[in-house]
Amino acid sequence: MEVQVSDFGATLVNVTVLDHDKHPVEVVLGYEDAAAYENGTAAIGAIVGRNANRIGGACVTIHGIDYKLAENDGKNNLHSGPDVYQKRMWKVIENGDDHVTFLLHSPDGDQGYPGALDMKVTYTLDEENGLTIHYEAVPDQDTVINMTNHSYFNLNGHKSGSVLHHRMQLLSDAFTPADAQSIPTGEICPVDGTPMDFRSTKELGAEIDAAYEPLILGNGYDHNWVLNAKGDITRKAATLESPKTGIVLDVYTDEPGIQVYAGNFLDGSLTGKKGITYNQRASVCLETQKYPDTPNKPEWPSAVLRPGETYNSHCIFKFSVDNGK
């Protein structure tokens, strides 16, 4: 197994694993050069911060003080844009055979958020084909921090087209429905009896086009699931597998939620590695994080940190092969 990362955006550029026939497969979408990452709009392979996902009304309130963010997704804020972390140069502060640590200084007022911090992101590849992404920062003021990785997975290979025949399991009994602008309503709804139920493994495309309001509003799966593991990183959060290659991806995290995005808005306008065009459903993102819009939902797991507190978040993408496939 091999992983390639870049100090431009601390981006996860490529992940290559062996399939059941021992052939190397590039399992994440990516671009051919740094200029394409600089110009790209889909956050491919991105380290997203200071707050991942959407914030309704492009405003956060921290201890009674409102902080206005940029409106870059209608009237809302998406991925803390437009001045995103993934389009900045990060400093390499540690580089070993099995890991690399990147550092980005984010000043007070950056992206509209209060407080300065030094964000560290460490990628570590272990002997069991596990890729751990570790985020760490200590703010000097009350602020919001909610990081994620926005890699687009296709276990058949990045150039293979649709992932709708991938099989997925989500260890989750509930999800957070969203409105037409993809802002969570504040409800936590059971998945039982809905197309959102992936507690038993099923094809990603089995019900993606169902006449079910959350799927209609989201143009498919682009939702946050409430993980049963509740932050216990020793308990599996999700599994994605390819019947074609036998490649299996298990996800572990100490975050409470996972956003599953099935490439709904990929439209063929992106040209990736080796000139490949990425069309709708060409991949699926598995973004471990706090719930979307959680700064505006005080009853949900908080993304607010105080001075001296350490933001400490882990995600593990563990690969294996089912030779029976």
Show which residues are catalytic: 150, 287
Which candidate, 28, 51, 38, places its Cα nearest to that of 7?
Answer: 38
- Whether omega before 82 lies within 30 degrees of 0, making that bond cis, reads yes
Please name the amino acid found at residue 296: N
Round to whole Å and give the CA distance between 145 and 139. Answer: 9
Do 209 and 220 form a contact (C-beta atoms < 8 A)?
yes
Q: What are the tokens at 191?
A: 């998945």
